[in-house]
Structure 1
Amino acid sequence: MKPIILYGHHAGPNPKKVVMVLEELNIPYEVKLLKFPEMKQPAYEKINPNGRVPAIEDPNTGITLWESAAIIEYLVEKYDENRTISFPPGTPEYYYAKQWLHFQASGQGPYFGQAVWFKIHHKEHIQSAFDRYINEIRRVSGVLNGVLEGHQYLVNDTYSYADTAFIPWFDIIPWLAGDAIDLKKDFPNVHAWLNTLKSRPAVITGLGKVKSEAPKKL
């Protein structure tokens, strides 16, 4: 099997969850790190017209994909024949896992990302805007905290890609929110869940492979 090419950036949470899935499934891959200006150049926009990361090129199928949730769905449907981190098609768990992946992509990522924007990228400091997204982070965390009450994982108490998808954005909470959010105190089920997830070798590799740095102003 030829290595899948993964395009990422050292400060981006989204490529990391793709790395975690690749690692869990033992799929060979190569990471190509881009700088922000390179994402807006014609060469990369041919791969991802949206000019963001991640994107993948799979030389085994000729498929090029962008959007992390779509990439994860592709990887598990194409390569997780043993259902290592996914569920058999047609089962309730199959759809529940998709549900959580979509919640991550629509509910977690955008709110966390906007908090980052208003913390460091927006030209003017607008405290009310930053507070709005910090409150949304708390709301999303509360949803997960309630669902995880008495459960180790999101779907059928079985580790799956649905859990994986949430990890990288939560990993920036200390830098992003500071004292405003204390996961251990305010969302103990989420805190315990993340600690369990972060003990997995694939997650450790994913968090370190695309090395984290605090985002800088563009």
Structure 2
Amino acid sequence: MIEVYSWATPNGHKVHIMLEECGLAYKAIPVDIGAGQQFEPEFLKISPNNKIPAIVDPVGPDGQPISLFESGAILLYLASKTGRFLPASDRGKFEVLQWLMFQMGGVGPMLGQAHHFRIYAPEKLPYAIDRYTNEAKRLYGVMDTRLSHSKYIAGDEYSIADIAIFPWLRSWKNQGIDWQDFPRLKAWFNEIAERPAVQRGVAVLANQRQALTDDKAREVLFGAQQYQRR
């Protein structure tokens, strides 16, 4: 059984959804990032960047245990393990990979910054709010235009690119998005949200996550502690 060290965040949900879509047996082990559990030595052994999610698969590619961190790498590993949601052909594979990298390098980091400056930052900085809200809208526009050419983000088949992107768009309101501006992306979003495996995946650990309201959790996530060398 695969062990998933995770929390109910977009990056965590990517892996939860993939595991559900693939029908793999797994155990979700909560890592409360607001309480600082991501800095504990045992977790750092499998996730040296002190970020969730991370997995331990007791039956790796050579039959031996393997641990992995970084959600994109985990999606690729699970796709390789199961032969699902990543095309076998080189052309199809690279079409999916470019959109996976788009999520990893653009959608996740930029929407994360939009969340931070719009919701969590102790000071409301108009420049930062405008910058990242506008970038969020730009990225939504890229995806909306893409979906005028294909059924799913990376082509005509549902893939790890869709799995990676979907959880980040669930917080569209916090990102300053009006769905009326992105009708094709909204239709895609609604379709993905109806998938039973997706619904199960986003429910994983969701009842344990609390709203970020206390100063201690804010300090753990955004203060000096996260920058300490470990």
Q: Could you tell me the TM-score, scaled by structure 2's length?
A: 0.85
Task: Find 1:27's aligned residue among 12, 15, 24.
Answer: 24
Relative distance call for 1:7 and 1:51 in structure 2 (3 A) is: same
CA apart distance, 1:14: 0.5
Answer yes or no: is the 8 Å Cα contact 1:16–1:210 preserved in 2.
Answer: no
Match of 1:75 in 2: 78
Answer yes or no: is the 8 Å Cα contact 1:8–1:32 preserved in 2.
Answer: yes
Match of 1:51 in 2: 50
Relative distance call for 1:213 and 1:134 in structure 2 (3 A) is: farther
Task: Give unpaired runs (5+ residues) of structure 1.
Answer: none
Inter-partner Cα distance in structure 1 for 2:22 and 2:161: 14
Aligned ranges 1:89-168 → 2 under 5 Å: 90-168=89-167
Task: Give unpaired runs (5+ residues) of structure 2.
Answer: 219-230
Provide runs of 4+ in structure 1 moved above 2 Å: 119-125, 212-217
Where 1:166 maps in the other structure, the secondary structure is: helix
Match of 2:223 in 1: none
Bigger mean CA offset, 205-214 vs 30-39: 205-214
Bigger mean CA offset, 50-59 vs 143-152: 143-152
Relative distance call for 1:213 and 1:187 in structure 2 (3 A) is: farther
Q: Could you tell me the TM-score, scaled by structure 1's length?
A: 0.89
CA apart distance, 1:214: 4.5
Relative distance call for 1:8 and 1:59 in structure 2 (3 A) is: same
Q: How many residues align?
A: 207
Inter-partner Cα distance in structure 2 for 1:117 and 1:94: 33
Where 2:46 maps in the other structure, the secondary structure is: coil
Inter-partner Cα distance in structure 2 for 1:155 and 1:4: 27
Give the alignment's Cα RMSD to 1 decimal. Answer: 1.6
Relative distance call for 1:73 and 1:168 in structure 2 (3 A) is: same
Match of 2:181 in 1: 186
Where 2:136 maps in the other structure, the secondary structure is: helix
Letter in 2 for 1:139: R
Relative distance call for 1:213 and 1:135 in structure 2 (3 A) is: farther
Q: Residue 86 in 1 paired to residue 86 in 2?
A: yes
CA apart distance, 1:206: 1.1
CA apart distance, 1:213: 5.3
Where 1:165 maps in the other structure, the secondary structure is: helix
Inter-partner Cα distance in structure 2 for 1:59 and 1:116: 36
Letter in 1 for 2:10: P
Answer yes or no: is the 8 Å Cα contact 1:15–1:210 preserved in 2.
Answer: no
Where 1:57 maps in the other structure, the secondary structure is: strand
